Structure 1
Amino acid sequence: MTLPTDAPASTYTVFASGPEGGFFVEKTLELPTLGRNDVAISIICCSVCYTDTMIATQAEGQIAGHECIGRVDFKGEDVTNIEIGDIVGLGYIRSTCLQCSFCLSGQEHMCPKIKTFVDGIGGFANASIWDSRFVYKIPESIEPRHAGPLTCAGASVFGALYGYNVSPTSTVGVVGLGGLGHLAIKFSKAWGCKVVAISSTREKEQDAYAFGAHEFIYTKDPITTSTKMDYIINTVAGDLPWGVFVNLLESNGTLINMGVCPKDTMEIPYIPVLFKQLRVVGSLVAPRHVVKKMFDFAALHNIRPEIEELEMSTKGCREACRRVIEQRARYRVVLNVPERLAL
């Protein structure tokens, strides 16, 4: 791969969504010319987020993937924060304007001109070009296969804890024990909180305790716990029994929603929200300075996602997305670029 700024683009391999949902096609494309602030990255691995499955099944030709790790091979002339040879992570955000009030106040994930991984080459590929200002050096103590899920899932749950000022004396409930939920338990435990896992899957109870939960609530049984929670982090993508979660909150408690609900409305009981002074909020990924703090925190506290590994191929991409959609992933699926495609 040779990418001087004025040179012709090189070819790379992608795994794009095929004509039928859930299928993938291997293609060879031209890598765009390197911009002044860009880095060219040889991808090592990419884990699969639920958002990727939504993108991959929407239309033919989509190149999903935004939890990827790679090696910097070339950089633009204005790049100062990244060096050639660095192992870096790419996340949900590709770039922002860096000039609006949100960007200037460290909230670039709220930028109205935000560009995400779908606005270019996603991580289901063996190479990509990314704005270096949204690329993160990976601590040497974290392996690429474990770092991938942290770039989005880890950053998102850490961003919720950090952004809503969760204290180490708080009791935190985590709804859902999937890719985000299991990391929310691990980060909350390392944060110093009492952690309550809330799940509709009884088989995940022992996993929840292994991840650091202090209590497990199985939502298909009558809920008898006396524990009240200061925060509940919802990681489930779906319409849920919101009244149950509201009743589990302590006065002045906060329900933080991270899962993508298919409905435009939430049926929240009004009286407890009023008399207990509750907050119902959302949390979307994380700004750059928080992502950097997350990697430092994960390295310090040895926080690693639980992963399954597959080869990045048409078959591997299809199987990974299927496991995520069917909620069979334990707990994040990582696609490794095979030797035949390594750059």
Structure 2
Amino acid sequence: METTAIKAYGNEAADAQLTQLNINRRKPTPHDVAIEILFCGVCHSDLHTARSEWGPTIYPCVPGHEIVGKVVSVGDHVSKFKVGDVVGVGCMVDSCRECEYCKEGLEQYCEPGMTGTYNSPDKNLPGNPTFGGYSESIVVDENYVLHIPENLDLAATAPLLCAGITTYSPLHHWNVGPDKKVGIVGIGGLGHMGIKIAKAMGAHVVAFTTSESKFAEAKRLGADEVVLSKDAEQMAAFRGKLHFVLDAVSAEHDINAYLSLLRVDGSLALVGAPEHPLPVAAFSLIVGRKSFAGSAIGGIQETQEMLDFCGKHNITADIEMIDIQNINQAYDRLLKGDVNYRFVIDMISLKNKNV
């Protein structure tokens, strides 16, 4: 297949920093959309993958799956997009399209496995991995490209392609809405989106944090109430009160403390990814017929629904813009939790500056 060399940022080994390198993108086939990347969010998954912490990484690795860009060309058979459209690409660029989950619009749970935007075998260029959004451009099948609402700030929209759908999908699946009292655990990249989206869905939102310094922030983001999770008395006040809890914490924590907050038939969905297993006491579930679940991103149709929902309610992420040349420092800050609440790379920096 014919390819074009472009500039990108990535690394060649788990202990290597990200640097500028050249990668090959396929030239558009009849169903492809070629996209000039304008902004790319920085997800914690990028860091884990670059450092080979979530299983073996295929090197060279070019991370980035929160992509917003402009269509520069389309294949002859493309019907959903035209040159000049502002579009998004999220965590996947393909799937088998034939299994029951793909047919149900749940491509993220594709039985053979979805094709990740980066660090997956590239079906179109055998022997190569897919390369993500820390790059000048990307070529994606039109069925895995998304329309971006015109009214949203483009840079602040980029994190919706992962953080937005990761929180929207479980909130939507568990029917969060008016007359529902919903807990959001953790006020970070995921949690701050969870608060905004749950509030826009009409729920009464209770934010849980280990830091009193985040009380005002949680209220600003839309929380109706804020609870210091280290305070047993504050936690006890919500025992058995919540219909649903979205847990966005990736550090080790006592999951039973949050299961105790659920009403009968309540559910807790984990979207954070703690490194070690979280012990669950049987009676945390048995008493009250409670459910402990997990959720991963969303399918293409649901991701488009999320973007349209955010467009309707004018929801974007709170971001800090960086140049691509500062990505290694951003990773160091990400490890310390030193970001409010999502880094976004202005990809013009890749074109305008040399290493």
Q: When the two structures are superposed, what TM-score results if normalisation uses the length of structure 1?
A: 0.93
Distance 1:271 1:245 in 2: 13
Distance 1:18 1:121 in 2: 13
Establish whether residue 77 from structure 1 lines up as the match of residue 76 from structure 2.
yes
Local SS of the residue matching 1:79: coil
Q: Are 1:22 and 1:321, in contact at CA under 8 Å, matched by a contact in 2?
A: no
Map residues 240-279 of structure 1 onto 2, 5 A cutoff: 240-263=253-276, 265-279=277-291
Map residues 293-312 of structure 1 onto 2, 5 A cutoff: 293-312=305-324
Q: What residue in structure 2 maps to residue 14 of structure 1?
A: 8
How far has the Cα of 1:31 moved from its partner? Answer: 2.2
Q: Are 1:18 and 1:25, in contact at CA under 8 Å, matched by a contact in 2?
A: no
Q: What residue in structure 1 maps to residue 165 of structure 2?
A: 155
Q: What residue in structure 1 maps to residue 34 of structure 2?
A: 40
Q: Are 2:164 and 2:306, in contact at CA under 8 Å, matched by a contact in 1?
A: yes
How far has the Cα of 1:339 moved from its partner? Answer: 5.4
Map residues 132-211 of structure 1 onto 2, 5 A cutoff: 132-211=142-221
Establish whether residue 212 from structure 1 lines up as the match of residue 216 from structure 2.
no
Distance 2:41 2:9 in 1: 14
- Which runs of no fewer than 5 residues in structure 2 stay unpaired? 121-129
Q: Are 2:176 and 2:198, in contact at CA under 8 Å, matched by a contact in 1?
A: no
Q: What residue in structure 1 maps to residue 125 of structure 2?
A: none
How far has the Cα of 1:154 moved from its partner? Answer: 0.6
Distance 1:22 1:247 in 2: 43
Q: Are 1:305 and 1:331, in contact at CA under 8 Å, matched by a contact in 2?
A: yes
Q: Are 1:253 and 1:278, in contact at CA under 8 Å, matched by a contact in 2?
A: yes
Q: Deviations over 1:10-50 (max 9, x none)?
A: 22111012546361110123322323322111100101111
Distance 1:328 1:211 in 2: 18
- Which runs of no fewer than 5 residues in structure 1 stay unpaired? 1-5
Map residues 25-64 of structure 1 onto 2, 5 A cutoff: 25-58=19-52, 61-64=60-63
Distance 2:305 2:7 in 1: 32
**For 1:231, which of 224, 237, 244 is the aligned residue?**
244
Q: What residue in structure 1 maps to residue 123 of structure 2?
A: none
How far has the Cα of 1:276 moved from its partner? Answer: 0.4
Stretches of 4+ aligned residues off by more than 6 angstroms: none
Q: Percent identity?
A: 27
The count of residues paired between Structure 1 and Structure 2 equals 333
How far has the Cα of 1:318 moved from its partner? Answer: 0.9
Establish whether residue 281 from structure 1 lines up as the match of residue 293 from structure 2.
yes
Tell me the amino acid that sits aligned with residue 104 of structure 1.
K
Q: What residue in structure 2 maps to residue 98 of structure 1?
A: 97
Distance 1:64 1:223 in 2: 43
Q: What residue in structure 2 maps to residue 130 of structure 1?
A: 140
Local SS of the residue matching 1:84: coil
Choose 186-195 or 97-106, whichever is displaced more: 97-106
How far has the Cα of 1:340 moved from its partner? Answer: 6.1
Distance 1:20 1:272 in 2: 39
Distance 2:22 2:189 in 1: 30
Q: What residue in structure 2 maps to residue 115 of structure 1?
A: 115
Distance 1:20 1:81 in 2: 38
Distance 2:73 2:332 in 1: 34
How far has the Cα of 1:103 moved from its partner? Answer: 1.1
Q: Are 2:7 and 2:136, in contact at CA under 8 Å, matched by a contact in 1?
A: yes
Establish whether residue 336 from structure 1 lines up as the match of residue 330 from structure 2.
no
Q: When the two structures are superposed, what TM-score results if normalisation uses the length of structure 2?
A: 0.89
Tell me the amino acid that sits aligned with residue 101 of structure 2.
F
How far has the Cα of 1:224 moved from its partner? Answer: 2.7
Local SS of the residue matching 2:30: coil
CA RMSD of superposed structures (Å): 1.7
Q: Are 1:217 and 1:223, in contact at CA under 8 Å, matched by a contact in 2?
A: no
Local SS of the residue matching 1:224: helix
Distance 2:223 2:100 in 1: 38
Distance 2:187 2:274 in 1: 16
